[in-house]
């Protein structure tokens, strides 16, 4: 069972960046006004940010990271680890992390690599960067997470288009002997790989000009091609309601903690109905469960740090707090972490002008 601790790791700062262009789901005229109202109420997404074609996740993460480094006053030559977590990298090859290492003017001694994960990516990323720093005695590192999902969604797909927004985030990590350990519980079920998938464009189903771009009528209100995100909402909903609560409960039990020991629970911003059902399963006070869904939508691996930046910036800048973070979705992959955040640098959300 993947339950473990990572000692001596401190979060020094969190920042987030979104594209300038805002889309309002009230204008989503692919479906009727009545259906729009029901959809917005159910998924909880009223507005979201859309990247223009040619803007990449790394562009957003660069802005977030560059600003945070400057605000922290860190010497860039001392940042020895950079991890980029995304499922929308710049190229198939090379890895995007190397491009960011050079663009951020980090030294050639910096370890840089990509992790291909989505909804659970922030939790997994924290476990990887924390473990490497704790065991390798790396003093400073950066975790960059995010996705541009809107360019891979079909406007004529009511199951996906209204849900996803674009964002990139940066989290600064430092080695600290005084830090409380991070406590993780990570899980995977690859049998559900097709619950959220872009079928073509990889090596399994290489891009084909005759079939990959052909739009198909999947069901009422859902037209998409094989380069678009295909989302099986019922399968994802059932998975989340089945697995997230036990994952969190087991983590709390393993380290002899209770819900009352946690100041805030920050979940991946999947959709309002799903997240609220999980919150009620756990019997959590709504005041302890912040949302960024209404303004930014589902932003994949960026959603947890984005929510901290937009909803809890004042709290994390001025107080020492205990957080439980939980990500769940594409993969199927899910995991939770309990950690301390103590008076960190957390600037207001940044806007990328395409």
Quote the CA–CA distance of 67 and 73 in Å, as a whole number.
10
User: Interior CA angle at 80 toward 74 and 85, to 5°?
Assistant: 100
State the pLDDT at residue 294: 96
CA distances from 151 to 35, 169, 235, 319, 334 (A): 23, 18, 23, 38, 24
Helix axes 121-136, 303-311, angle to 10 degrees: 90
Radius of gyration of the chain (CA): 19
What is the per-residue pLDDT for 38? 94
Is 259 within 8 Å of 252 (Cβ atoms)?
A: yes
> Could you tell me which residues are beta bridge partners of residue 336?
185, 326
pLDDT of the residue at 120: 97
Q: What is the pLDDT of residue 354?
A: 74
Structurally, the chain folds into a number of domains equal to 1
Return the closest-CA partner of residue 247 out of 305, 181, 329, 312: 329
* Beta-carbon contacts of residue 295 (< 8 Å; ≥ 6 apart): 46, 47, 48, 310
The residues facing 146 across adjacent strands are 168
Low-confidence ranges of the chain (pLDDT < 70): 1
H-helix or E-strand spanning residue 330: none
pLDDT for the residue numbered 306: 98
**∠ at Cα 122 (109, 106), nearest 5°?**
20
CA distance 11 to 130: 10
Provide the CATH number for the domain around residue 103: 3.40.47.10
| Distance of alpha carbon 7 from alpha carbon 5, whole angstroms | 6
pLDDT confidence of residue 340: 96
Report pLDDT for 210: 82
Q: How many CA atoms lie within 13 A of 31 on its CB side?
A: 22
| Per-residue pLDDT, 70 | 97
Query: What pLDDT, on the 0 to 100 scale, is given for residue 167?
Result: 98
Q: What is the pLDDT of residue 176?
A: 93
Domain span at residue 193?
1-354
C-alpha span between 73 and 69 (Å, rounded): 6
For residue 151, the model assigns a pLDDT of 93
How far lies 9's CA from each of 13, 57, 273, 349, in Å? 12, 26, 34, 24
Phi (first) and psi of residue 263, to 5 degrees: -75, -40
CB 323 within 8 A of CB 261: no
> What stretches of the chain adopt beta strand conformation (E)?
3-6, 9-19, 22-24, 47-49, 81-85, 111-115, 140-147, 167-175, 182-188, 196-197, 216-219, 222-224, 230-231, 264-267, 320-329, 333-342, 350-352
């Amino acid at each position: 069972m993947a339950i473990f601790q990572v000692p001596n790791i401190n979060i020094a700062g969190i920042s987030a960046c979104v594209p300038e262009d805002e889309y309002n789901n009230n204008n989503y005229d692919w479906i009727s006004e009545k259906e729009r109202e029901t959809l917005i109420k159910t998924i909880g997404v009223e507005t979201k940010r859309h990247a223009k074609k040619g803007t990449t996740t790394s562009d957003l993460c660069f802005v977030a990271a560059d600003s945070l480094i400057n605000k922290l006053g860190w010497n860039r030559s001392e940042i020895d680890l950079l991890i980029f977590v995304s499922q929308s990298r710049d190229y198939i090859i090379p890895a995007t992390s190397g491009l960011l290492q050079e663009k951020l003017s980090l030294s050639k001694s910096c370890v840089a690599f990509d992790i291909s994960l989505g909804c659970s990516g922030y939790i997994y990323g924290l476990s990887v960067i924390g473990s490497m720093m704790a065991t390798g005695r790396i003093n400073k590192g950066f975790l960059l997470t995010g996705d541009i999902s809107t360019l891979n969604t079909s406007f004529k797909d009511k199951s996906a288009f209204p849900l996803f927004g674009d964002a990139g985030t940066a989290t600064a990590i430092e080695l600290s002997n005084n830090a409380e350990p991070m406590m993780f519980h990570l899980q995977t079920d690859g049998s559900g790989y097709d619950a959220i998938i872009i079928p073509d464009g990889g090596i399994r189903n290489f891009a084909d000009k005759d079939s990959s771009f052909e739009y198909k009528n999947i069901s009422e209100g859902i037209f998409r091609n094989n380069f678009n995100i295909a989302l099986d909402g019922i399968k994802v909903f059932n998975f989340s309601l089945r697995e997230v609560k036990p994952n969190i409960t087991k983590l709390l039990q393993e380290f002899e903690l209770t819900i009352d020991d946690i100041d805030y629970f920050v979940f991946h911003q999947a959709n309002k109905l799903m997240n609220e059902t999980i919150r009620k399963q756990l019997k959590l006070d709504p005041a302890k469960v912040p949302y960024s869904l209404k303004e930014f939508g589902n932003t994949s691996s960026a959603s947890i740090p984005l929510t901290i930046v937009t909803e809890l910036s004042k709290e994390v800048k001025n107080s020492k707090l205990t957080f439980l973070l939980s990500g769940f979705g594409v993969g199927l992959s899910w995991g939770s972490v309990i950690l301390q955040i103590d008076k960190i640098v957390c600037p207001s959300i940044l806007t990328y002008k395409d």
